[in-house]
Amino acid sequence: MRDIIISELTQAFQQMARDIAHYLPRLIVMLIIALVGWVIAYLLKFLVRSLLRLTKFSKLSENAGATQLLHQAALPSATELVSRFVFWIAWAGFVLLGVSVLGIAGLDEYISRFFFFLPRLFVALVILFFGLVAASFLSRAALLAAVNANFRSSRMLSISVRFIIIIFALSMSFEVVGVAEETMLIAFATVFGAAMFGLAIAFGLGGQDLARKFLEKKLAPHHREDREDELSPL
């Protein structure tokens, strides 16, 4: 009995020693890959940050309204955020590469899925960023045009334009990454449809006089009062 226990223990220790001997080089390789990956990711972060500063990315982000959002959420600047994002993605990629060297069964599939997901995540983020840029630009353009045309609900119009474009960009981004595709699509269709339907009802029922005045102003000869309202600038 005693011999059996000793023999089993010896075998277990030998097996563990063999396993350690088997995994130790791989573990060291993994650590080396992670370490080298950290250095490369850090260099990438530095490179991306310099490139973004060179291309005045922060100004673009400010114009897009992203800087304001980040500031409100107590997050770092857009340049810093993007460069940190690149760092973590690159380093996580290297760490996963290192983990795959360990040869743990079933892990390879998850790692390959992660690498397959990265380009889609990148595309989704790009779409979201340009969606924010477009939303900011077009909502501001709508606001200025409405104010200069003496439209009373200029701010509301501008907010609506921004809201619709952001919802549109979000639904596209979610579709690209494959998260809640249908939910987002339905949400967008519902919001957009509701907004248009609401506007149609509001303008059709509540705005009959406004519509009449608008058409009269456009189609009928200008009244004297309208001409008197503006100083000729040139």
Partner 1 sequence: MAEENLLTDEFLRQLINIGEVDIVVGLSTHNNAKTIGPVIAAIQAGILKCFPRERVAIINADGGSQDDTTELVKNASIDDLRRDHKVYALRTLHSISVRYGRIPDPGMALQTILEGSDLLRAKTCVLISPDSTTIEPDWLQRLARPSYYDNFDLVCPIYRRQKFEGALVRDLLYPMTRSIYGSRIREPYGSEFAVSGRLITDFLGNGIMNQDWGRMGPEISITILALTGKYRVCQSFLGAKQPSSRGHDMVASVRRTVGALFASLDGNFPFWSTVTGSQPVTTMGTATELAQEAARINRKRLLEMFASGVAQLEPVLNSILSPSLLSELRRIAALGVDEFDYPAELWTRTVFEFAASYHKSTINRDHIIQALVPLYRGRSLTFLMENRDGSEQDIETREESLCADFERLKPYLLEIWADRK
Residue numbers of the site for partner 1 (CB under 8 A)?
59, 62-63, 137, 140-141, 143-148, 150, 152, 154-155, 225, 228-234
Closest CB to partner 1 among residues 109, 230: 230
Least distance in Å: CB of 142 to partner 1?
11
Least distance in Å: CB of 67 to partner 1?
11
Closest CB to partner 1 among residues 122, 137: 137
Least distance in Å: CB of 189 to partner 1?
29
Closest CB to partner 1 among residues 63, 100: 63
- What are φ and ψ of residue 215, in 5° steps? -65, -40
Residues 53-60: contacts with CB under 8 Å, at least 24 apart: 53/79, 57/82, 60/133
Least distance in Å: CB of 145 to partner 1?
8
Closest CB to partner 1 among residues 22, 213: 213
Taking a C-beta distance cutoff of 8 angstroms, is the pair 66, 105 a contact?
Answer: no
Taking a C-beta distance cutoff of 8 angstroms, is the pair 26, 56 a contact?
Answer: no
Closest CB to partner 1 among residues 111, 147: 147
Compute the Cα dihedral for 75, 80, 83, 88 and give only its sign.
negative
Taking a C-beta distance cutoff of 8 angstroms, is the pair 188, 171 a contact?
Answer: yes
- Which among 67, 50, 56, 52 has a CA at the least distance from the CA of 133? 67
Rg (CA), the chain: 30
Least distance in Å: CB of 216 to partner 1?
18
